[in-house]
Amino acid sequence: MFNRVIVVLFVVINYVSCNYFSPKSNKSDSVLDTIINFTKVDVSPSFKVCDKLLDEAKTNCFRLNIHQQITKHLKKVIVVFEEDINETIVNVILTINNKGKITLKEILTTDAFTTTNTSLEEELIEAIRKLPTLSPAIKRGIPVETEYTLPIKIKVAE
Protein backbone atom coordinates (compact mmCIF):
# COMPACT_ATOMS: atom_id res chain seq x y z
CA MET A 1 0.00 0.00 0.00
CA PHE A 2 2.82 2.33 0.90
CA ASN A 3 4.45 1.68 -2.52
CA ARG A 4 1.23 2.65 -4.30
CA VAL A 5 1.06 5.94 -2.43
CA ILE A 6 4.67 6.71 -3.32
CA VAL A 7 4.09 5.84 -6.98
CA VAL A 8 0.92 7.99 -7.14
CA LEU A 9 2.69 10.83 -5.33
CA PHE A 10 5.65 10.54 -7.73
CA VAL A 11 3.31 10.62 -10.78
CA VAL A 12 1.42 13.67 -9.45
CA ILE A 13 4.64 15.56 -8.65
CA ASN A 14 6.09 14.64 -12.03
CA TYR A 15 2.92 15.78 -13.82
CA VAL A 16 2.72 19.09 -11.96
CA SER A 17 6.42 19.85 -12.24
CA CYS A 18 6.47 19.58 -16.05
CA ASN A 19 5.39 23.22 -16.27
CA TYR A 20 8.43 24.26 -14.28
CA PHE A 21 10.91 22.51 -16.56
CA SER A 22 9.43 23.31 -19.97
CA PRO A 23 10.84 26.31 -21.83
CA LYS A 24 8.77 29.39 -21.21
CA SER A 25 7.53 31.47 -24.08
CA ASN A 26 8.62 35.04 -23.62
CA LYS A 27 5.51 37.07 -24.37
CA SER A 28 7.40 40.36 -24.28
CA ASP A 29 9.56 39.21 -27.24
CA SER A 30 6.52 38.49 -29.36
CA VAL A 31 5.02 41.88 -28.54
CA LEU A 32 8.24 43.68 -29.39
CA ASP A 33 8.53 41.73 -32.62
CA THR A 34 5.16 43.00 -33.84
CA ILE A 35 5.92 46.69 -33.26
CA ILE A 36 6.98 48.16 -36.61
CA ASN A 37 8.30 51.67 -37.18
CA PHE A 38 6.82 52.52 -40.57
CA THR A 39 8.63 55.86 -40.76
CA LYS A 40 12.01 54.14 -41.09
CA VAL A 41 12.85 51.56 -43.73
CA ASP A 42 15.38 48.75 -43.43
CA VAL A 43 16.91 49.39 -46.87
CA SER A 44 16.60 52.78 -48.56
CA PRO A 45 15.69 53.13 -52.25
CA SER A 46 18.65 53.15 -54.61
CA PHE A 47 19.89 53.64 -58.12
CA LYS A 48 21.45 50.67 -59.93
CA VAL A 49 24.98 52.01 -59.23
CA CYS A 50 24.24 51.99 -55.48
CA ASP A 51 22.73 48.50 -55.23
CA LYS A 52 25.94 46.77 -54.12
CA LEU A 53 26.61 49.21 -51.28
CA LEU A 54 25.39 48.67 -47.73
CA ASP A 55 23.38 50.73 -45.24
CA GLU A 56 24.65 54.31 -44.82
CA ALA A 57 26.83 54.19 -47.95
CA LYS A 58 23.81 53.11 -50.01
CA THR A 59 21.69 55.95 -48.61
CA ASN A 60 24.44 58.50 -49.28
CA CYS A 61 24.90 57.17 -52.82
CA PHE A 62 21.15 57.54 -53.46
CA ARG A 63 21.14 61.13 -52.18
CA LEU A 64 24.22 62.08 -54.16
CA ASN A 65 22.89 60.57 -57.41
CA ILE A 66 19.44 62.11 -57.18
CA HIS A 67 20.92 65.54 -56.40
CA GLN A 68 23.41 65.27 -59.26
CA GLN A 69 20.79 64.24 -61.81
CA ILE A 70 18.33 66.99 -60.81
CA THR A 71 21.12 69.60 -60.68
CA LYS A 72 22.40 68.56 -64.11
CA HIS A 73 18.96 69.13 -65.58
CA LEU A 74 18.36 72.42 -63.75
CA LYS A 75 21.68 74.03 -64.76
CA LYS A 76 20.08 74.94 -68.08
CA VAL A 77 17.28 76.93 -66.45
CA ILE A 78 17.51 80.71 -66.25
CA VAL A 79 16.01 82.01 -63.03
CA VAL A 80 15.26 85.70 -62.46
CA PHE A 81 15.24 87.27 -58.99
CA GLU A 82 14.94 90.88 -57.96
CA GLU A 83 17.53 90.54 -55.17
CA ASP A 84 20.47 88.31 -54.25
CA ILE A 85 19.50 84.95 -52.76
CA ASN A 86 21.56 82.27 -51.03
CA GLU A 87 19.04 79.99 -49.37
CA THR A 88 16.90 76.92 -49.78
CA ILE A 89 13.75 78.19 -51.40
CA VAL A 90 12.41 75.03 -52.99
CA ASN A 91 11.64 71.68 -51.32
CA VAL A 92 10.56 68.96 -53.69
CA ILE A 93 8.71 66.05 -52.11
CA LEU A 94 9.09 62.86 -54.14
CA THR A 95 7.25 59.58 -53.71
CA ILE A 96 9.05 56.36 -54.63
CA ASN A 97 6.50 53.57 -54.91
CA ASN A 98 7.04 49.88 -54.15
CA LYS A 99 7.99 49.29 -57.80
CA GLY A 100 10.69 52.01 -57.73
CA LYS A 101 8.80 54.58 -59.84
CA ILE A 102 9.42 58.19 -58.79
CA THR A 103 6.54 60.64 -58.83
CA LEU A 104 6.29 64.24 -57.77
CA LYS A 105 4.08 64.70 -54.74
CA GLU A 106 4.54 68.38 -53.99
CA ILE A 107 6.77 71.38 -54.61
CA LEU A 108 7.07 73.73 -51.65
CA THR A 109 8.44 77.18 -52.47
CA THR A 110 8.67 80.62 -50.94
CA ASP A 111 6.24 83.30 -52.10
CA ALA A 112 8.93 85.32 -53.88
CA PHE A 113 9.93 82.29 -55.90
CA THR A 114 6.49 81.26 -57.11
CA THR A 115 5.49 84.68 -58.37
CA THR A 116 8.60 85.21 -60.49
CA ASN A 117 9.70 81.75 -61.66
CA THR A 118 7.25 79.29 -63.09
CA SER A 119 9.75 77.86 -65.60
CA LEU A 120 11.85 76.28 -62.83
CA GLU A 121 8.82 74.42 -61.56
CA GLU A 122 8.16 73.04 -65.04
CA GLU A 123 11.81 72.03 -65.38
CA LEU A 124 11.68 70.27 -62.00
CA ILE A 125 8.72 68.24 -63.19
CA GLU A 126 10.62 67.36 -66.38
CA ALA A 127 13.80 66.45 -64.45
CA ILE A 128 11.86 64.14 -62.13
CA ARG A 129 10.11 62.54 -65.09
CA LYS A 130 13.52 61.72 -66.63
CA LEU A 131 14.85 59.98 -63.50
CA PRO A 132 15.30 56.22 -63.96
CA THR A 133 13.31 53.60 -62.09
CA LEU A 134 14.93 52.81 -58.75
CA SER A 135 15.19 49.80 -56.52
CA PRO A 136 12.40 50.43 -53.98
CA ALA A 137 12.87 50.79 -50.24
CA ILE A 138 12.59 47.57 -48.23
CA LYS A 139 10.86 47.13 -44.87
CA ARG A 140 10.95 43.65 -43.31
CA GLY A 141 11.74 42.08 -46.68
CA ILE A 142 8.83 43.77 -48.48
CA PRO A 143 9.18 46.61 -51.04
CA VAL A 144 7.41 49.69 -49.64
CA GLU A 145 6.51 53.20 -50.78
CA THR A 146 8.66 56.02 -49.38
CA GLU A 147 8.89 59.78 -49.55
CA TYR A 148 12.03 61.79 -50.10
CA THR A 149 12.35 65.55 -49.63
CA LEU A 150 14.82 67.12 -52.02
CA PRO A 151 15.91 70.61 -50.89
CA ILE A 152 17.07 72.92 -53.67
CA LYS A 153 19.34 75.76 -52.63
CA ILE A 154 19.64 78.62 -55.07
CA LYS A 155 22.63 80.96 -55.06
CA VAL A 156 22.29 84.09 -57.12
CA ALA A 157 25.52 85.87 -57.87
CA GLU A 158 25.94 89.22 -59.58
CA distances from 116 to 32, 74, 110, 123 (A): 52, 16, 11, 14
Q: What is the pLDDT of residue 64?
A: 92
* Mean pLDDT (whole number) for 77-88: 64
CA distances for 131 relative to 83, 128, 136, 150, angstroms: 32, 5, 14, 14
Which residue type occupies 87?
Answer: E
Task: Give the residue extent of every domain in the chain.
Answer: 48-155
Q: Cβ(103)–Cβ(95) under 8 Å?
A: yes
Distance CA 98, CA 137 (A): 7
Q: What is the tens place of the pLDDT at every residue in 88-109?
A: 678 888 999 999 899 888 888 7
Euclidean distance between CA atoms 150 and 92, whole angstroms = 5
What is the band of 158 on the pLDDT scale with cuts at 50, 70, 90? low
pLDDT at 23: 60
